[in-house]
Structures are given as structure tokens and as C-alpha cells.
Structure 1
């Protein structure tokens, strides 16, 4: 914990003997779980600031952690862990008790796991490209998507309203879940469309045909406010309404390689493409023929604020290699006003940047400094530096109630920052 008056750490969670690889808060914010490269999980009591239990039954690196929602059948609020040993284990976070183990789905490292909103299902993704869908009622595998040549499944996530699910693979393979439907790239629809996208109804196991059957993709994203998904491939972005099949987005781009991501703004009005050579392009989707309103801006990292009002873009300041430039742009006035430019001391080429849950503060760090900086969005001024880690900060995340920020580092520690005191 940080004493904001003198910017000193007054409580540090120590106990890991190897790099911390993942973090997860319980839904009530009272418990924090951390996993490491030494096969251990530590469950921390946030209020008492001490270790509650230590879980050691995995046989390889812990890659993913997730708490089940409170209403999960049988074991509400249990902790799930995915490991490089190929298993998913479920734990009672109050005692050292393993509840159940899923071991049949993955033969290689598990990369990511996610519960749906009501806790009835769990999805897991593997480095060999397989994606498994589990029932939390029967604790059995419902489906396993392993066809084709998807060599690496890098992430899984549910949409914010729990009606859609996506899996990203490097060879253009996707899984899409929408109102009980699964869609995934299985094989070519015909010889002219390798790695085409397919959409399926999970309850009926029938294919839902549509124009997406005639396209391929290397990146995919969901709109948060509409039943829309968009895909990028080579020099084109396409998007459709999954209910009607109507094409809503058709944007020609350069033949861009090494796409890092494609993302809608929270209100669905903007679409951002982060491509090779650290170029960011943003389109206004509200115009009949969308044209870039931010064309090819240098960007190492970008983030939309949760309230949809601000776009933050971080880029290197090549006139001063000890610093980066962060531009803050009001989304409603991207064309009319110049961005606010902030110069921040964040050396290195690996950066992380997120907004606070209320969108008022930007949180960022760099690979060569062991500090987290806080920037006030309205004033564009740095308001604090959070010091305490001694090595590279790997990740940080806010608790569900927004009252706590947790950061983990290569120094093997997790630090908890009292966000309410920091922002007083």
C-alpha cells in the first residue's frame, strides 16, 4: 500500500520466489490472487495485507487466473487457474482445497481462461491453438475447437454484456459467441478462401451462413454497443451486423502487416487500427464513407477512456530518449482541436497504459523505470509517481470496485495502491 502523503510504500505483498505472471481480483475486491513461474499461486487477504493460502499443485508456470462470479453453479466465487502443465484447477480461495481439475482438454500450455457473466461456462485457450468450452454445471467439456492449422491461441474474452465470445489465433482463426452461437475459422469455405470465418449455432450445431464466409482475417474485434464485429485482413477492414448479415464497415487500408490490434471506441463511433511500424489509424464510422481522422500517427500504445470521451496515444520522443509523448484527444473534437501533449519520463520500448475506471486519470509505466506515473486527464499534468518496485513492472489492474490498483513486477512482488487515498 502507498502512503500518498510522502509517496512511500507502507505495505508490500512478498512471498513469490519467481517472476509473477498473472493477477486476479475477487469480485468483491477482498481477495487478490497472484501466480508465478515457479508453479505457485498465492491468495492474499487485502484487508489484512497478508498471505491467506498458498496453492502448489500445478506442475508448471501459472499463466492465467480468474475468479468465478458469485452465482456460479456448485462453487460460487471459486478461483480458477490455468497452467503450462495443461490443466485448469479450481480452488476454494479460503482454504487450501482443490475442488476439481480439468485435464482432458489441452495437451500443451494453457494461455488464457475466462468465465462468462453468470459463471455457467468457462472458456480456455491453448498455445497449440485449441479452444475448449466447459460447463460449470456438469464440469464437463461441451466443445473443443481444434480443426485446421491454428498454431497459437493468444487470448480469450467475453464481451462486456456476456453475449459474445472471441478467440484470437495467429493464423486468422476466430471463435465468436453471440446469443448462444459459436463461430470459428475451421477450414476454407472453398478453395479460393483459405482460413475463412464461419459462424455456428451452438444449441443447434447448425452453421449460420453470411458474408463473413467469404473473407479471412488476422485480427477481430467486437463493438461494445452493437451486434457488430469487424475483421482486418491485408488491406481491408470489413464489419457486419451478426443478426442481419448486413455489411456496415468496408474500409480500404494499406497492405499492413504485423497488426497489433483493431478496436472500437466504447460508443462504437470510432474504429482504431494499430499496425506495423507503430502506426495508429482512427476512422469515424458515423460518416457515409469513413476516412481517417487520425492518419498514421506514431504510437507505441493507445487507450480509449471508459467513458468514451478521451483517446490517449503514447509515442517515443526521439529528441529525448528518456521520455515519451502522450497526446490526449477529446473524441468529440478530434478534427477541431489540437491534442494536449504531455512529455513523460518513461524510458524504454515496452509500455503499459490504462485509464482509471472513472476516466479522470491516466496510468502508465515504461520498461526502464520501475515507477507508475499518474496523469490528470483534465489538466494534463503528472500528479504522482508510485515507487516501490525494483524491477520491470509487468502489469497492473484495478479492482472491480475501483478502490485498489494492483501492480506486479519481475522483482517478484505485488504492490497494492489505495486508489482513494491517491486521488484525494
Structure 2
């Protein structure tokens, strides 16, 4: 159930429900070497080490394994410790630690050099439904060199963790769970920092650190957004009330001064990340649930996609809708994203099409991109804006020329079920996507590398949002 790019963008690794991992050339789309055998059950999560020499994988067989990228062989023995499915694994930004999360409700941190577990498991959460950190309800960190677990599992979750994220500097981990708490962990010692952050009355669906790592934002089924001091763990101000239904998505603006949230109540709201006050009125316009929201690269606009079949662009400063709704899709809009230069928007829909829009005029650019035979679940631009990648319920990932709208090459097949998450690496050389079949696949594409990198961090119930955050901070 996972796939990620290598940091140089040349390779993609994918994990599958058949228990294997495969490495792909991101330029040619061809498989590199033989499948990596070892797991006895579905591979739920995979990740490259920052230097690209190793791969870590987590599986429903309850183990974490480390692989040599060049030889394709397993390094050392399986990392045993979790008592249930391992749903998510990732390297720390400096490559010295591995974190794993499981349905055993613990988070564990491991020293990559010594292979010892750092401190006790991070205990705390009390609810259930699942962090793609692992279905055993734990997060575990493994030594990527020796293959040993660092300290005990991070216990505390009594239910599945819906979302986890590292702080930008990699020193802390934040987790949100169905047990209604947010918890902060020391990524070095594995100890919980302070008490659980109580406040939400229902499942927490999304958590994220601010760009500077000083704050945390969380969104919940209790219809609130909350901001937390990432140092003290105290809630900053009162809950951000306003939404009349589930909060599906939260995100900080690029400069960290604002937060945008999208909800089942059909509204988009902008919040002051310092004071916690709502900026202006709710952004009304959508007639149904808002499924996806995103800031433009310069933070001046917001794009939203909705069940009402429209895409809308908003002025992020004054909160007014810019132009008319972007009509064209015949069914729910499931995903939206800005191009890196902010001039275009791409959308994916239940109508099986991908569409490109002029972000200034709101007009559709060219014809719909046809090819998928089922719902388009997620779309993203490459970092240079020349290509678009889309993932669909037809079990394929497709790459499109963002200028001509033509499909580049054949569909990238291989999944046995719906593709729920796709993304280009910021350097545009890799594509990562995730599927319900519990596999992650990586494909290589050639492009000029840069220092950016993003990967989906996947949560069982929110495959796109949660995992995007986690892998983003680990890579």
C-alpha cells in the first residue's frame, strides 16, 4: 500500500499486496531487477533512505525490513516487535533513524546506527481506525543499518492513528488518532513530550506541523480546527469553530501565517495561524462537501474541489471567489492542485477525466484528458509544470503532457485495486502512487533535480492527506 521516489528522482519503489517490493526506473518506467521477496503478507508502506542506498518496508506480516537498493537483497533480519500490521514507515531527514507505526497503537523510534530502540514506545492514543503507521497501533523506528528496532514501540494509541508527521527539523513526531488526542513525541528518545493534547471530541482526521515547526494544526470530525504550540503542547487559543460538519482537510499557507480548511459542510475557511481567528467570512459557493483544498505557491489564492462538480478559486486575502466556478466535470471533483508557477490548476473527478484550467481566467485549457476508465482519485503537477500525473480507480497511473494534454506513454499498470494517491517528486523525475491493493509503486522520469521532495503519507481512512504529511517530513 505504498510507493515513493528516491531523493534523486531516478527510481521508484513500490510495495504490493503480494508481499513483494519492486524498484522502477522513473525515466523509462521499466522494472529494475527482480522483485524483492521476504514479506509474508501485504506490504503497506515503503520509503527510500535520504541517500537512496536503502529501502525500508512495513508489512501486514508485522515486520519492518531494510533492503539494499543496488543488490535488491534484504539487509539483516526482519525487524520484529510490532504485534499487528505495520502501516507506515519512514526515515528521519538525516537518515539516522526509522519510525514505524502500527495497529498495536504504538510509535517506535530506532537508532539507525546502533539498531537499538530509543526509549520506550510512545504510548497515548485511546481509539481505533488506523494510522498508516501501522494497524497494530504502534509506530516503530528501526536502525536502517543493523536492522534492529530502536527502543520499544511507541505505545499509547488505543485506536488507529489517522495522521502522523515529523517536525521540519525531524526532532519531533506529531500523531492524531481516532482516540481524539494529538500527541507529540521526541523522535530521538521516543518519549512522549508532555501530556496528550486533549480537546477534540471526535476522530482526528489530519495533523500537520507549520513550516517553521512551532505550531501544529489538527482537523477533526468534531467540526473544529485546533492550533497547538508544538513546544509546550498547549492549545493556542480556543478551538476554531465555524464548520458545521466534518473537517476533511487542513493545511498551512506557504509562509505559515494562515491555515485553510475544507469541510463536508461545503465551505472553505481561512484562519489566522497566530491568533486562531477566522479571517473573513466562510468561503461560500460550493453546494456540497469540499473534498480538496490547496494554497497557490505564492499563498495569494486557494483552490477547492467539491462534490458539487465544480472547482473554485478564491482570493486568500479577502476571501472572495475569483470569477465563476469552473464547470466541466460531470461528477464529484476529488482532487485539485496548482501548477508550480500558479498559472494553472489541474482537477480529477469521478467522471474519469482530468482537466486543466487557466488559474487567471478560469477557462478550461484544451479538451478533457480522457484515458482513465474509472474515477480519477488524485492529480498532481510535476515540479517544472510540464507534466501531470493522475491515479484512478481503473487501477492505473497515467502521465500527461501539461501543454498538449496528450498522454505520455502507456498507463503505468500493476495494481490490483484502486489507485488512491499519486504525486510527482518536486524534481519531476519520479512518480509515487498508492493503491487499495496495499501496494506502492514508483516510476522514474528524467528531469532536472532540485531540492524539493514530496511523498504521500497514507492513512487508512484518509490515504492522501495523512501520508502526504508524514513522508514529506521524512524525506
Instruction: Settle same-fold status: TM greater than 0.5.
Output: yes
1:64 maps onto 2:88 in alignment:
yes
Q: If each structure's strand is expressed as a fraction of its own residues, which one has the higher value? A: 1
| Partner residue in 2 for 1:379 | 404
Secondary structure of the structure 1 residue equivalent to 2:398: strand
What whole-Å deviation, never above 9, does each CA across 1:40-93 have from its counterpart, x for those lacking one? 3333333334433533321112222222121xxxxx531101101111111111
1:134 maps onto 2:188 in alignment:
no
1:45 maps onto 2:68 in alignment:
yes
Superposition map of 1:287-306 within 5 A? 289-294=320-325, 298=329, 299-306=333-340
1:9 maps onto 2:31 in alignment:
yes
Cα distance change, pair 32–79 in 1 and its aligned pair in 2 (3 A): same
Structure 1 unaligned runs (5+)?
71-75, 183-201, 318-323
Secondary structure of the structure 1 residue equivalent to 2:446: helix
8 Å Cα contact 1:33/1:41 also seen in 2? yes
8 Å Cα contact 1:314/1:326 also seen in 2? yes
| Partner residue in 1 for 2:469 | none
| Partner residue in 1 for 2:118 | none
Partner Cα distance (1:260, 1:244) in 2 = 26
Partner Cα distance (1:221, 1:408) in 2 = 21
8 Å Cα contact 2:286/2:308 also seen in 1? no
8 Å Cα contact 2:313/2:321 also seen in 1? no
Superposition map of 1:274-293 within 5 A? 274-285=305-316, 289-293=320-324
Secondary structure of the structure 2 residue equivalent to 1:344: coil
1:334 maps onto 2:391 in alignment:
no
1:166 maps onto 2:196 in alignment:
no
Cα distance change, pair 30–120 in 1 and its aligned pair in 2 (3 A): same
| Partner residue in 1 for 2:105 | 86
Partner Cα distance (1:151, 1:312) in 2 = 32
| Partner residue in 1 for 2:147 | 96
Q: State the 1:400 CA deviation.
A: 7.2
Q: State the 1:213 CA deviation.
A: 5.7
Superposition map of 1:109-124 within 5 A? 109-124=160-175
Partner Cα distance (1:96, 1:231) in 2 = 40
Larger radius of gyration between Structure 1 and Structure 2: 1
| Partner residue in 2 for 1:241 | 272
| Partner residue in 1 for 2:301 | 270
Cα distance change, pair 237–106 in 1 and its aligned pair in 2 (3 A): same
What whole-Å deviation, never above 9, does each CA across 1:141-171 have from its counterpart, x for those lacking one? 1134454563322333224443442222212
| Partner residue in 2 for 1:185 | none
More off after superposition, 84-93 vs 109-118: 109-118
Q: State the 1:116 CA deviation.
A: 0.8
User: What TM-score does the superposition give when structure 2 sets the normalisation length?
Assistant: 0.69
Partner Cα distance (1:208, 1:149) in 2 = 13
What whole-Å deviation, never above 9, does each CA across 1:279-323 have from its counterpart, x for those lacking one? 433223456854554356642322222343321012344xxxxxx
Q: Which of 198, 205, 210 is equivalent to 1:154?
A: 205
What whole-Å deviation, never above 9, does each CA across 1:250-275 have from its counterpart, x for those lacking one? 24525855432333222222223333
Partner Cα distance (1:271, 1:421) in 2 = 28
Partner Cα distance (1:213, 1:166) in 2 = 10
Q: Which of 297, 311, 314 is equivalent to 2:348?
A: 314
Partner Cα distance (1:365, 1:255) in 2 = 24
Q: State the 1:173 CA deviation.
A: 4.1
What whole-Å deviation, never above 9, does each CA across 1:187-209 have from its counterpart, x for those lacking one? xxxxxxxxxxxxxxx5495x654
Aligned residues between the structures: 385
1:176 maps onto 2:227 in alignment:
yes
Secondary structure of the structure 2 residue equivalent to 1:362: strand
Cα distance change, pair 239–4 in 1 and its aligned pair in 2 (3 A): closer
Partner Cα distance (2:206, 2:27) in 1 = 39
| Partner residue in 1 for 2:353 | 325
Partner Cα distance (2:375, 2:153) in 1 = 38
Partner Cα distance (1:272, 1:278) in 2 = 14
1:222 maps onto 2:252 in alignment:
yes
8 Å Cα contact 1:389/1:413 also seen in 2? no
Secondary structure of the structure 2 residue equivalent to 1:123: strand
Structure 2 unaligned runs (5+)?
1-22, 108-139, 450-475
**RMSD, aligned α-carbons:** 3.6
1:420 maps onto 2:442 in alignment:
no
Superposition map of 1:189-200 within 5 A? none
Cα distance change, pair 4–98 in 1 and its aligned pair in 2 (3 A): closer
